[in-house]
């Protein structure tokens, strides 16, 4: 770490003393303790049409290499504000944040340590161009990403690995074996959540699964009311260790695509108003239409109370 010699409060020469469980710079004159905290950086993984933005760094460290739009958080802004600002400054895009993707620690003991807070984001304005300390800004698909040795920081390399892995997840109608696995997942994770019971062999229902190398990592249930040109999106669930990377949103998109193929005009859904995953529905084009009151029962006391009613228009010209 950068050595600290003088007290920022009174200017006296600092001494190294044991404070708490560490040796820290302490002022012998006024007692000020200088805590060497890590720096905080924030950035975005901006996705559009299965592509993400990378910027070529125009300055050190990593000059000439690629990275995600990111930079240090200023003292007068939040991490979210810094992520949006850095994206605008480095690649010219105005973005809105969708979700927290991950938090990474970086640096070595011999140098400055830091924390990178990375968010997923989508474009709401601006034009892609290199700005600030960037030499270039380009959209990349999973197939055209630069090799890892051309990515400036290991935290960005890790994020890109995770993004590319999620893009390789397969989505489709469940097989009998996958349906059995969904039943096991429900028993383990989702027994207290609202959901419709789906028989994958019933033509009025569909069970869509997300699978990663044969492992079911998420699912979505759909019930069709074809006489009314409607479909009901039941439970959408992703394993806890696979959330944040857009699997839920893609399951919803798969459900909408299947419903559209079957002539459905409106895709309906309900969710707990406090559900942290509600952003996936909004991102997928749903709009809130009001609240439903679910009556309580002695058999299933958890499946009661208010539910937010959502709808997505699938008719021609709809979103």
Task: Render pLDDT for 280-292 as a digit per residue (tens, 0 to 9).
Answer: 787 778 888 776 5
- Do 57 and 143 have their domain in common? yes
pLDDT at 109: 62
Look at the chain and report how many structural domains it folds into: 2
Q: What's the burial of 240, exposed, middle or buried (CB within 10 Å: 0-12/13-18/19+)?
A: exposed
Same domain, 142 and 185: no
Q: Within a domain: residue 17?
A: no
pTM score, whole prediction: 0.69
d(CA 137, CA 68): 10
C-alpha–C-alpha distance, residues 110 and 102, integer Å: 25
Q: Are 268 and 307 in contact (CB under 8 A)?
A: no
Block means of pLDDT (10 residues each) for the chain, 319 residues, are 82 92 92 90 92 94 94 94 97 92 81 87 94 91 93 94 87 91 84 49 83 92 86 88 81 91 87 69 79 49 61 70
Shared-domain flag, residues 66 and 176: no
Which of 118, 145, 167 is the last residue before a domain boundary? 167
The set of long-range contacts for 24-28, using a CB threshold of 8 Å and a minimum separation of 24, is none
Domain hosting 272: range is 170-313
Q: List the CATH number of the domain containing 136.
A: 3.90.79.10
Residue partners of 146: CB distance under 8 A and separation at least 6: 54, 66, 140
Residue 147 sits in the same domain as residue 247: no
Within-domain flag for 110? yes
Domain assignment present for 34: no
pLDDT, residue 306, reads: 65
Q: Is residue 60 located within the same domain as residue 114?
A: yes
Last residue of a domain, one of 114, 149, 167: 167
Instruction: For residues 225 and 222, give the distance between their C-alpha atoms in angstroms, rounded to a whole number.
Output: 10
In a domain, 248, yes or no: yes
What is the predicted pLDDT for the residue at 68? Answer: 97
Pair (139, 184) in one structural domain: no
Predicted pLDDT at 307: 75
Residues 84 and 198 in one domain: no
Q: Are residues 141 and 105 in the same domain?
A: yes
Contact 128, 91 (CB under 8 A): yes
CATH code of residue 215: 3.40.630.30
251 inside domain: yes
Domain final position from 126, 149, 167: 167
Distances (CA, A) of 42 to 101, 111, 150: 11, 19, 21
- Position 221 in a domain: yes
Same domain, 103 and 215: no
């Amino acid at each position: 770490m950068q050595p600290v010699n003088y007290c920022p409060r009174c200017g006296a020469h600092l001494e190294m003393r044991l404070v708490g469980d560490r040796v820290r710079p302490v002022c012998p004159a006024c007692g000020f303790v200088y805590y060497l905290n890590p720096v905080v950086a924030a950035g975005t993984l901006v996705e559009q049409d299965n592509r993400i933005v990378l910027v070529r760094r125009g300055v050190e460290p990593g000059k000439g290499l690629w990275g995600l739009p990111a930079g240090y958080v200023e003292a007068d802004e939040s991490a979210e504000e810094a992520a949006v600002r850095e994206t605008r400054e480095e690649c010219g895009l105005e973005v809105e944040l969708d979700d927290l993707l991950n938090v990474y620690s970086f640096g070595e003991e011999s140098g400055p340590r830091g924390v990178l807070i990375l968010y997923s984001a989508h474009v709401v304005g601006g034009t892609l161009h290199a700005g600030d300390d960037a030499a270039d800004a380009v959209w990349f698909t999973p197939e055209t990403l630069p090799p890892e040795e051309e990515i400036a920081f290991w935290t960005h390399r890790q994020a890109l690995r995770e993004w590319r892995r999620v893009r390789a997840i397969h989505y489709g109608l469940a097989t009998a074996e996958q349906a059995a696995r969904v039943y096991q997942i429900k028993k383990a994770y989702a027994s207290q959540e609202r959901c419709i019971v789906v028989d994958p062999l019933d033509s009025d229902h569909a069970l869509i699964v997300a699978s990663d190398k044969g492992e079911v990592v998420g699912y979505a249930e759909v019930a069709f009311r074809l006489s009314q040109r409607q479909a009901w999106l039941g439970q959408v669930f992703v394993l806890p260790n696979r959330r944040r990377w857009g699997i839920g949103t893609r399951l919803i998109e798969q459900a909408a695509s299947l419903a559209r193929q079957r002539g459905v005009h409106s895709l309906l859904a309900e969710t707990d108003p406090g559900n942290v995953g509600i952003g996936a529905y909004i991102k997928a084009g749903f709009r809130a239409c009001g609240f439903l009151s679910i009556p309580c029962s002695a058999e299933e006391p958890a499946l009661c109370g208010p539910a937010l009613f959502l709808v997505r228009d699938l008719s021609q010209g709809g979103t």
